[in-house]
Structure 1
């Protein structure tokens, strides 16, 4: 069974987001100058960052749960809209059937005496050819739309597949995080 959207989001956003999975205490300590590496404040700073990161992960987890609930409501609204559309289509079909039956009854009762045919054999053929050409053009347009939608869905599925298997679109993410931490460190050292 394929994983759910929330499972993918949890696996991608929360599991690898814990600070120790990004950088260990030892690696964090090595970012500081050698003279400062034994300072106990480094461990406290790491624990504080770890706490902040855990709070952020908790917020993300809550947001995933909220989005999951919202998704259920959206799916319900879509199902209701589809049912309404199906009922409207059925109502339109029923109206058409009634109109056809009414016309048949009128013809049976009153006949088609004095009614001139709307088309002759020679006049209907060009009309039918035009209708066929219009339908073929519409079919081609719908096929082009279908191909575009299919390509869009394939791209979305491919992107979600990358998330499922832990492939990141930004392979430099780890380096970017380390650079960000270094800039935080530089800012902290500048305030001393």
Structure 2
């Protein structure tokens, strides 16, 4: 099975579970009002208004997903281009090692000058030790970078999970909605 695309992940994670009817049914919504007003057309109208607001938010998220897909594709093309450029400009590592150990090929094959000899065992060992230490340091740096990126991804996933299940970073939203519902209930009581 092919791995999911970025579009599938974002759509399935942010759009599909965000429908108001999937999160908060009309019958659940009705329970917030006094029993005599459950069948009121105003309650149904208010629920439709919430659905419309939710649909607008979903449209904004869909547009953001589309923009992100375009950005992601551009970044992917740039990474591929940079890798190609790096492969063209990077010298062959095996050839460099061969030159470091034995000296240039032209000097080995045709040169009769003894001063241009390659490395001896004693001269190559410190060079190799230095190369090993440099590689180990680079591996440590890459490992640290990988851990940092992994933590960033985990935090992003956690943030998306909070969004999916309605845990907003802005805690005031819940209070505003509850206050609005309370004032609506009072208005309904006054009308009755």
Compute the TM-score of the two structures, normalised by the length of structure 2.
Answer: 0.66
| Structure 2 partner of 1:83 | 84
Contact preservation (8 Å) 1:22, 1:174: no
| Structure 1 partner of 2:27 | 26
| Structure 2 partner of 1:9 | 10
Q: Where in structure 2 are there 5+ consecutive unaligned residues?
A: none
Contact preservation (8 Å) 1:25, 1:46: yes
Q: Where in structure 1 are there 5+ consecutive unaligned residues?
A: none
Q: Work out the CA distance in 2 between the residues paired with 1:4 and 1:156.
A: 20
| Structure 2 partner of 1:64 | 65
Match of 1:173 among 166, 170, 184: 166
Q: Work out the CA distance in 2 between the residues paired with 1:101 and 1:129.
A: 20
Compute the TM-score of the two structures, normalised by the length of structure 1.
Answer: 0.66
Contact preservation (8 Å) 1:31, 1:182: no
Deviations 1:149-188 (A, max 9, x none): 554566677789989xxx9358973797866632332466
| Structure 1 partner of 2:75 | 74
| Structure 2 partner of 1:183 | 179
Provide closer, same or farther for how the CA distance between residues 183 and 63 of structure 1 changes in structure 2, counting only shifts above 3 A.
Answer: same
Aligned alpha-carbon RMSD (Å): 4.5
Q: What number of residue pairs does the alignment pair up?
A: 178
Q: Work out the CA distance in 1 between the residues paired with 2:70 and 2:165.
A: 33
| Structure 1 partner of 2:134 | 138
Determine which structure has greater relative contact order: mean sequence separation of CA pairs < 8 Å that are 6+ residues apart, divided by chain length.
1
Q: Work out the CA distance in 2 between the residues paired with 1:143 and 1:9.
A: 33
Is 1:39 aligned with 2:55? no
Q: Work out the CA distance in 2 between the residues paired with 1:190 and 1:84.
A: 68
Deviations 1:20-42 (A, max 9, x none): 11111111121234454443212
Q: Work out the CA distance in 2 between the residues paired with 1:186 and 1:169.
A: 26
Q: Secondary structure at the match of 2:59?
A: helix
Could you tell which deviates more after superposition, 129-138 or 41-50? 129-138
